[in-house]
Amino acid sequence: RKEVEQDPGPFNVPEGATVAFNCTYSNSASQSFFWYRQDCRKEPKLLMSVYSSGNEDGRFTAQLNRASQYISLLIRDSKLSDSATYLCVVNNPTTGRRALTFGSGTRLQVQP
């Protein structure tokens, strides 16, 4: 089983649509969770951290379900500029390990 699994997509949605991405992770001891966004041929950039209580940033809402080891990202009122690949990122707290594990990403294409 992959450490972090995501549906690769692509998700093709019209402008204004609501779209949800899901992610599962394998290590129940993981402590920190993020969604990153990566535009074509660019570096990943932090979109938002994911907290146990769920958190919202404008049109973006992230949820964490520790019991199911599941993370979600909801984008409301999609814009053309939201087109990108969304990476689910989880830390793996192996002793001494300070790195994050990235999912393969879910590609979103918002169409006019």
Partner 1 sequence: ETGVTQTPRHLVMGMTNKKSLKCEQHLGHNAMYWYKQSAKKPLELMFVYNFKEQTENNSVPSRFSPECPNSSHLFLHLHTLQPEDSALYLCASSSGLVTDTQYFGPGTRLTVL
> Given candidates 7, 17, 55, 102, which one binds partner 1 under the rule CB under 8 A?
102
Cβ proximity of 88 and 103 under 8 Å: yes
Residue 34 makes contact with partner 1 by CB under 8 A: yes
- CB contact set of 88 (below 8 Å; sequence gap of 6+): 4, 6, 21, 23, 25, 33, 34, 35, 71, 73, 102, 103, 105, 106
- CB contact set of 66 (below 8 Å; sequence gap of 6+): 28, 52
- Cβ of residue 27: shortest distance to partner 1, in angstroms? 12
Looking at 11-19, 35-43, 64-72, 73-81, which segment touches partner 1 (CB under 8 A)? Answer: 35-43
- Cβ of residue 14: shortest distance to partner 1, in angstroms? 26
Residue 41 makes contact with partner 1 by CB under 8 A: yes
> Given candidates 103, 106, 108, 110, which one binds partner 1 under the rule CB under 8 A?
103
- Cβ of residue 35: shortest distance to partner 1, in angstroms? 11
Cβ proximity of 28 and 69 under 8 Å: yes
| Cα–Cα distance list, 59 to 28, 70, 85 (Å) | 29, 20, 17
Question: Under the rule (CB under 8 A), what is the footprint of partner 1?
Answer: 4, 31-32, 34, 41-46, 49, 87, 91, 93, 96-105
